[in-house]
Amino acid sequence: MQETPRTRFGYRFVTMARQWRRMIDHDLAQSGLSDASWAPLVNLALGGDDVSQAELAERVGLDASSLVRLLDLLEKRALIERRVDPADRRARRILLTDLGRSEVARIRDRLQGIESEMLADLDDATLAAMIEAFERIETRIHDADPKRKRT
């Protein structure tokens, strides 16, 4: 099979994403922030909080039981609050606390420095085009997700 940008994209993207994540995790760990501390918090801040545990698990790419353990830690540190979902009393909604928002601000400050360094060779127009392309790919992935398709 001949190598083309399309045949190489997935492998390159996954490889780069893993390396990116390792760099971020390493840098944040130097500041005392573990993955459990930052990924769900930043996701709640950027994607909106007051979401169900199931929705947050999907957004951060974790199974529900792994997320529950993370949420227990975050709740113990008073970074999040879990409330009963008024529409389904068995479900819980996740909200950032004021302390959680402060922690997200600290994390985002660290992330901004890391990301600026890693993206230094790219201008804003290139980054905007990449983000737009990623959004289109995310839409395709979302639409193709077998969990979302009805049988």
Domain boundaries, the chain: 5-120
CA distance 23 to 100: 23
Q: Does residue 150 have a pLDDT over 60?
A: no
Tell me the average pLDDT of the chain: 88
Q: What pLDDT score was predicted for residue 30? A: 82
Q: Does residue 60 have a pLDDT over 70?
A: yes
Q: Does residue 35 have a pLDDT over 70?
A: no
Place of tokens 């077998």: 146
Would the CA dihedral through 143, 144, 149, 151 be positive or negative?
positive
Q: Does residue 8 have a pLDDT over 70?
A: yes
Q: Does residue 19 have a pLDDT over 80?
A: yes
Q: Does residue 78 have a pLDDT over 60?
A: yes
Domain boundaries 5-120, CATH class: mainly alpha
